Chains A and B, each alone.
Chain A
Amino acid sequence: RKEVEQDPGPFNVPEGATVAFNCTYSNSASQSFFWYRQDCRKEPKLLMSVYSSGNEDGRFTAQLNRASQYISLLIRDSKLSDSATYLCVVNLPRGSTLGRLYFGRGTQLTVWP
């Protein structure tokens, strides 16, 4: 079983739509969580951290459910520039693996006009 599982998509949505991505992780001791964005043939870039209480950054909202080992990313009012692959990332605990990051395969989003 992979450490991080994501629906690869693709998700194709019109501009202005709301879209949500989900991610599950297998290790209940996972310590911290992130969403990265990767444009086609580019490097991954940190989009936002995911906090236990949930957090928002403009049109982006991240949620964490530790009981279900589930992370989500909600994008409101989608823009063409949101088209990218969104990577769910989990940091395993200190002491056991020195803070290895595990990346999901990514969910591909295409926003069309």
Chain B
Amino acid sequence: DTAVSQTPKYLVTQMGNDKSIKCEQNLGHDTMYWYKQDSKKFLKIMFSYNNKELIINETVPNRFSPKSPDKAHLNLHINSLELGDSAVYFCASSPRRNTGELFFGEGSRLTVL
């Protein structure tokens, strides 16, 4: 069983479209994250939720909207996609906040044409 699973793994879309990426973890963790890894390989946090509550919201355009229906799920919706949104988006979870022990999903590679 995959601990942190995200779908879709690959997404190719046109500029201006809206798309969503879903994430689920079956580890019973309280905290979930979205990270973005750009073409230069830097991994940067976007959002963090703890028990469905938003606790970290980095300087991310408001076209990006996370939603956590329950503590096992954290979805990411992106409106009006731009070329610069092309990246790999990783979902992760951890047993608690303020820990360095993160469990990542396999990533969702988004390409905006």
Contacts and interface: CB of A to CB of B under 8 A. Distances in A.
- Identify whether the interface residues of B are mostly helix, strand, loop, or mixed: loop
Nearest to B40: A105
Interface residues of B, number: 20
Interface of A: 32-34, 42-46, 49, 85, 87, 89, 91, 94, 98-101, 103, 105-106
Interface of B: 40-45, 48, 55-56, 90, 97-102, 104-107
Nearest to B6: A43
B98 A43 contact: no
- Identify whether the interface residues of A are mostly helix, strand, loop, or mixed: strand
A103 B48 CA distance: 15
Contact of A106 (B41, B56, B98): B41
Contacts of A98: 48, 55-56, 97-98
A85 B41 contact: yes
Contacts of B55: 98
Contacts of A99: 97-99
